[in-house]
Structure 1
Amino acid sequence: MTENRKKVAFYTLGCKLNFSETSTIARDFQDEGFDRVEFEDIADIYVINTCSVTENADKQFKQVVKKAMKLNDKAFVAAVGCYAQLKPEELASVDGVDLVLGATEKFKITDYINDLSKNDFGEVHSCEISEADFYVGSYSIGDRTRAFLKVQDGCDYKCTYCTIPLARGISRSDTLENVLQNAKEISQQNIKEIVLTGVNIGDYGKGEFGNKKHEHTFYELVQKLDEVEGIERLRISSIEPNLLRNETIEFVSKSRTFVPHFHIPLQSGSNDVLKKMKRRYLREVYTERVNKIKEVMPHACIGVDVIVGFPGETDEHFLETYNFLNEMDISYLHVFTYSERDNTEAANMPNPVPANVRAKRSKMLRGLSVKKRRAFYESQIGSNRTVLFESENKEGYIHGFTENYVKVKTPWNPELVNTLHEINLTKIDDDGSVRLEFLNVEV
């Protein structure tokens, strides 16, 4: 790192897709002669990649800006990403923010940074979201033992609670050649695991400029990625139940590299609520998908997204969801408390659920998630699995995940970082992870 080169730091709010895009933007800065430093370090530029999915992410943004200003009150602060597209003026008015870039502009950020002097008010460059009709491939690398590989962006679904189509535009995909090239680049960096990411990855194959014709299907993408040399593991992130085909499930069950782990959004176990949400399936389809996975991969881990407190969700609707999930062979839940978002259909729906009821329902489902994860881990005790160890020393332990997403820990040993080991799962520790005695792992 040279003294006279400008330093840039990044902070990412939100999803895996954002992490992959932050990494791509960071590489652009490095190509332009900037040195990347940690966000906790003093930098000349702080870039914050924002999220619009939860209310909390909006509040977090202000805290992150404050943190940057504390580190260097003369630093140039840029906001990019989903929230920057949806509410650019709001972000621009936050004290300390100098530049706000929307959905298409964020990938050209270095073009906008000519003068690093502070602005009295954030400068906004944000297109109409209909102009976000081109695709920028990206992947994250260098900050963890796994890489997030973006294969698709945008969404054509019109779920009544969601701002993502407003923030990211229409569904469009990377070319198969590009995805495979990016996967090869990642494999050459000694990264053991790739997580496929996008807004709606099951919709993979739609071309640029709103071309609805699928050049390739998600199933074809999965088949081709399985052939890339040098990748130990491939993991599918979130995929819609109506787009997860039986042929894909069967392929994963026999695959060389794809792991038995699926994350499938449900959002509600009540068909009435699913219809109000304008989801593209009913609960019966969800049941079919879970049963198919468990039929061909009994040891598979299945994660579920669920929203509580959607407008008009009665106690009966909520209990339908709770009982549906309780009876199903799933492994954990990601629980989201519904929050009204501007310019969404649901924000104007009648019968909003009181905040205290939303909180109570959320707590009940979080408790169910703990129970489900514990039951899944217990079902795996006695089995042999392969764990990939990560790079952090957390209170004297190194952690990792098995192929089917069981969290494992063992006493810290730096030689284990980014290595794969076959282990026998023996006992669950007090914190819920599977603990290995040090001697059980050969380096």
Structure 2
Amino acid sequence: MENRKKVAFYTLGCKLNFSETSTIARNLQDEGFDRVDFEEVADMYVINTCSVTENADKQFKQVVRKAMKLNDKAFVAAVGCYAQLKPEELASVDGVDLVLGATEKFKLADYINDLSKNDFGEVHSCEIAEADFYVGSYSIGDRTRAFLKVQDGCDYKCTYCTIPLARGISRSDELENVLKNASEISKQNIKEIVLTGVNIGDYGKGEFGNKKHEHTFLELVQELDKVEGIERLRISSIEPNLLKNETIEFVSKSRTFVPHFHIPLQSGSNDILKLMKRRYQREVYTERVNKIREVMPHACIGVDVIVGFPGETDEHFLETYHFLNEMNISYLHVFTYSERDNTEAAAMEGVVPANVRAKRSKMLRGLSVKKRRAFYESQLGTNRTVLFESENKEGYIHGFTENYVKVKTPWNPELVNTLHEINLTKIDEDGSVRMDFVTALV
């Protein structure tokens, strides 16, 4: 019997990276590898990198060290965004054997010979303009939820962002292929699909820089809603200028799309939004939130915010703080601005000191706790549907309602990957919600 090699994967960054890691892993399994957990001894370790924040860069080196501790003779490959932006830097990290950029990562098997260690990291990285084709991906590692990639790249020119440099132009999967992938996922007994991409509201642009939209994001949502066997569909992050009222209204009446929106704001100050080259002003954001609340009062609305952007004065920050405080939103993802090479913002004046950035971040994180608590309190006494996950955490099983309330109940393995109608009863000390069962659904 052939001695199959073992490969382990580590993913840094976003849901899109997770979907792509899963696809690369399936490709390698087809080439004769067995996938194992990253904590195990493997013949090859593949690290899918992220470069959105400075922290992700540091994490990469830690992950390489971890792999080398597990097996110092293992072959280490780096792929993904950081591998595209800083290939030589990654190749110079002790233990790294192969670095693949944006167009090469899906052909990993083609670059592997005998898995013997290299004296220096070998780099295969294209000019990002060559990343003009589309590779569909989806993750099925977690039995309860899958990440389905529908779009890649971005044509926006936000002054703080390296993603266009790392992933290239905006391009989308063909609608037929998205529906085929969704159908494949539904046959795996996975109850929820999360749509993911770099800028998914821009869905519909074809390959090779074709700016014409073959389909709209609304059409994608409408067609996915018809796919049999899917219990839930969740839209991941979507730009406020691309989230149209028609989409919001469709979701409110949809069979499968859940009332949960994650909409990046980045700043509540129009001055800062202009410096960031965002494609909307805060008034547009207010309109979107008000529309969601009008047709789905119980919806969960998450917000991305960046603090400490160059030129952000105390007044600008307080403008953001008060804007969010008064807005009927559910939680925040707070990012502390960090300078990225080859971005406009890195050369801007008005640099905010690190200690001020940290203080502002702490204030907004505190506001997020308050907002989430208020949202959870507004849901107490209501009946919702929960999808339970697979982990036993200190004797409890956790799950999320359709509108993203985290709930808990004593551990019972029979609940894993099942849907139940529940009544939300009280908020626990850890911030999750206790519940009573009403009926089992699926």
TM-score normalised by L of structure 2: 0.98
Deviation sequence 1:102-149 (CA, Å, 0-9, x none) = 000000000001121101110000000000000000000033410000
SS at match of 2:42: coil
Is 2:421–2:441's contact at 8 Å kept on the other side of the alignment?
Answer: no
Percent identical pairs in the alignment equals 92
Instruction: Give the Å deviation of 1:214.
Output: 0.1
Aligned to 1:391: 390
Q: Cα 1:260–1:438, aligned 2, differ >3 Å: closer, same or farther?
A: closer
Query: CA–CA distance in 2 between the matches of 1:142 and 1:86?
Result: 27
Query: CA–CA distance in 1 between the matches of 2:118 and 2:259?
Result: 50
SS at match of 1:392: strand
Query: CA–CA distance in 2 between the matches of 1:103 and 1:411?
Result: 44
Moved more, 55-64 or 433-442: 433-442
Is 2:419–2:441's contact at 8 Å kept on the other side of the alignment?
Answer: no
Query: CA–CA distance in 2 between the matches of 1:158 and 1:320?
Result: 24
Deviation sequence 1:330-368 (CA, Å, 0-9, x none) = 000000000000000000000100000000000000000
Q: Cα 1:163–1:246, aligned 2, differ >3 Å: closer, same or farther?
A: same
Query: CA–CA distance in 1 between the matches of 2:435 and 2:152?
Result: 39
Instruction: Give the Å deviation of 1:438.
Output: 8.0
Instruction: Give the Å deviation of 1:439.
Output: 9.7
Aligned to 1:326: 325
Deviation sequence 1:204-240 (CA, Å, 0-9, x none) = 0000000000000000000000000000000000000
SS at match of 1:95: coil
Is 2:425–2:436's contact at 8 Å kept on the other side of the alignment?
Answer: no
Is 1:401–1:408's contact at 8 Å kept on the other side of the alignment?
Answer: yes
Aligned to 2:136: 137
Is 2:420–2:439's contact at 8 Å kept on the other side of the alignment?
Answer: no
Is 2:205–2:212's contact at 8 Å kept on the other side of the alignment?
Answer: yes
Query: CA–CA distance in 1 between the matches of 2:119 and 2:366?
Result: 47
Unaligned runs of 5+ in 1: none
CA RMSD of aligned residues (A): 1.2
Instruction: Give the Å deviation of 1:435.
Output: 1.6
Is 1:411–1:438's contact at 8 Å kept on the other side of the alignment?
Answer: no
Query: CA–CA distance in 1 between the matches of 2:45 and 2:434?
Result: 38
Query: CA–CA distance in 1 between the matches of 2:258 and 2:28?
Result: 34
Query: CA–CA distance in 2 between the matches of 1:70 and 1:322?
Result: 44
Aligned to 1:307: 306
Query: CA–CA distance in 2 between the matches of 1:261 and 1:182?
Result: 22
SS at match of 1:189: coil
Aligned to 1:195: 194
Q: Cα 1:97–1:425, aligned 2, differ >3 Å: closer, same or farther?
A: same
| Match status 1:343 vs 2:338 | no
Is 2:423–2:436's contact at 8 Å kept on the other side of the alignment?
Answer: no
Query: CA–CA distance in 2 between the matches of 1:37 and 1:149?
Result: 22
Query: CA–CA distance in 2 between the matches of 1:439 and 1:298?
Result: 22
Query: CA–CA distance in 2 between the matches of 1:37 and 1:358?
Result: 40
Is 1:187–1:229's contact at 8 Å kept on the other side of the alignment?
Answer: yes
Deviation sequence 1:386-442 (CA, Å, 0-9, x none) = 000000111111110000000001111110000000000010000110023689979
Query: CA–CA distance in 2 between the matches of 1:442 and 1:293?
Result: 27
Query: CA–CA distance in 1 between the matches of 2:8 and 2:313?
Result: 46
Is 1:411–1:437's contact at 8 Å kept on the other side of the alignment?
Answer: no
Query: Paired residues, what number?
Result: 441
Is 1:14–1:50's contact at 8 Å kept on the other side of the alignment?
Answer: yes
Instruction: Give the Å deviation of 1:4.
Output: 1.6
SS at match of 1:36: strand
Is 1:151–1:204's contact at 8 Å kept on the other side of the alignment?
Answer: yes
SS at match of 1:439: strand
Query: CA–CA distance in 2 between the matches of 1:108 and 1:4?
Result: 22
Unaligned runs of 5+ in 2: none
Deviation sequence 1:142-164 (CA, Å, 0-9, x none) = 33410000000000000000000
Is 2:251–2:259's contact at 8 Å kept on the other side of the alignment?
Answer: yes
SS at match of 2:381: coil
Is 2:421–2:438's contact at 8 Å kept on the other side of the alignment?
Answer: no
SS at match of 2:182: helix
Query: CA–CA distance in 1 between the matches of 2:318 and 2:383?
Result: 37
Is 1:374–1:432's contact at 8 Å kept on the other side of the alignment?
Answer: yes
Query: CA–CA distance in 2 between the matches of 1:437 and 1:251?
Result: 30
Query: CA–CA distance in 1 between the matches of 2:188 and 2:123?
Result: 36
Is 2:132–2:208's contact at 8 Å kept on the other side of the alignment?
Answer: yes
Query: CA–CA distance in 1 between the matches of 2:440 and 2:46?
Result: 40
Query: CA–CA distance in 1 between the matches of 2:210 and 2:436?
Result: 54
Query: CA–CA distance in 2 between the matches of 1:210 and 1:134?
Result: 9
SS at match of 1:437: strand
Query: CA–CA distance in 2 between the matches of 1:372 and 1:331?
Result: 5
Query: CA–CA distance in 2 between the matches of 1:53 and 1:330?
Result: 24
Is 2:383–2:424's contact at 8 Å kept on the other side of the alignment?
Answer: yes
Aligned to 1:283: 282
SS at match of 1:353: coil
SS at match of 1:390: strand
SS at match of 2:368: helix
Query: CA–CA distance in 2 between the matches of 1:360 and 1:414?
Result: 42
SS at match of 1:393: strand
